[in-house]
């Protein structure tokens, strides 16, 4: 699958090292308004939100971005967001981000879980559990 894409407006030598995290079913959040809209959309659709607070210069963030994209395609019942902590620094500070990546799991706008670090097995396990929690009982 490769990297999730790169920002088209960056034309210098940095561009090939820049990872745009918003691909697959991942929504890139660049404003507080966009964040509020996506949370409202998730609430009305009954979706759990996974918010990845990330940074373009962060090696582990780049490493996990393609995996995060794959998960977003595998679990369409969840909403996958990514927030660039540098682009939305005040907003990220309000979430008390101490390290990137930090993943928040939100239901109805409330935090129900959190994962700090690019831990693929743990991220997969938490996302699978979230998706399973949305599946109605099959009895």
Question: For position 134, what pLDDT does the model report?
Answer: 81
Would you please indicate which residues are annotated as catalytic (active-site) residues? Answer: 58, 61
Question: For position 27, what pLDDT does the model report?
Answer: 95
Question: For position 137, what pLDDT does the model report?
Answer: 55
Q: Is residue 58 part of a domain?
A: yes
Q: Is residue 7 part of a domain?
A: no
Distant-in-sequence, close-in-space partners of 79: CB < 8 Å, separation ≥ 6:
27, 38, 41, 42, 45, 47, 48, 49, 50
Q: Is residue 11 part of a domain?
A: no
Q: Is residue 56 part of a domain?
A: yes
Tens-binned pLDDT, residue by residue, of the chain (139 aa): 333 433 333 333 333 333 445 567 899 999 999 999 999 999 999 999 999 999 999 999 999 999 999 999 999 999 999 999 999 999 999 999 999 999 999 999 999 999 999 999 999 999 999 999 887 655 5
For the chain, give the number of residues. Answer: 139
Cβ proximity of 122 and 115 under 8 Å: yes
Q: Is the peptide bond before 101 cis (omega within 30 degrees of 0)?
A: yes
Cα 117 to the center of its chain, rounded Å: 13
Query: What's this model's pTM, rounded to 2 decimal places?
Result: 0.82
CATH number at residue 95: 3.40.30.10
Q: Is residue 137 part of a domain?
A: no
Question: For position 136, what pLDDT does the model report?
Answer: 67
Give per-residue pLDDT as tens, 83-118. Answer: 999 999 999 999 999 999 999 999 999 999 999 999
The H-assigned helical ranges of 50-137 are 59-74, 89-94, 120-134
In whole angstroms, give the CA distance from residue 120 to residue 125: 8
Structural domain boundaries, residue 59: 18-132
Q: Is residue 122 part of a domain?
A: yes
Q: Is residue 10 part of a domain?
A: no
User: Could you give the number of structural domains in the chain?
Assistant: 1
Q: Is residue 22 part of a domain?
A: yes
């Amino acid at each position: 699958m490769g990297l999730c894409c790169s920002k088209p407006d960056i034309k210098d030598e940095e561009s090939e090292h820049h990872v745009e995290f918003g691909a697959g079913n991942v929504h890139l959040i660049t404003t507080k308004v966009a964040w509020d809209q996506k949370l409202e959309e998730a609430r009305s659709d009954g979706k759990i939100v996974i918010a990845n607070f990330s940074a373009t210069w962060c090696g582990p963030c780049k490493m996990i971005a393609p995996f995060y994209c794959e998960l977003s395609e595998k679990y369409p019942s969840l909403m996958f967001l990514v927030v660039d902590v540098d682009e939305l620094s005040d907003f990220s500070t309000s979430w008390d981000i101490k390290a990137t990546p930090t993943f928040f799991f939100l239901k109805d706008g409330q935090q129900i879980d959190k994962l700090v670090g690019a831990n693929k097995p743990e991220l997969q396990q938490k996302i699978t559990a979230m998706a399973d929690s949305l599946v109605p009982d099959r009895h």
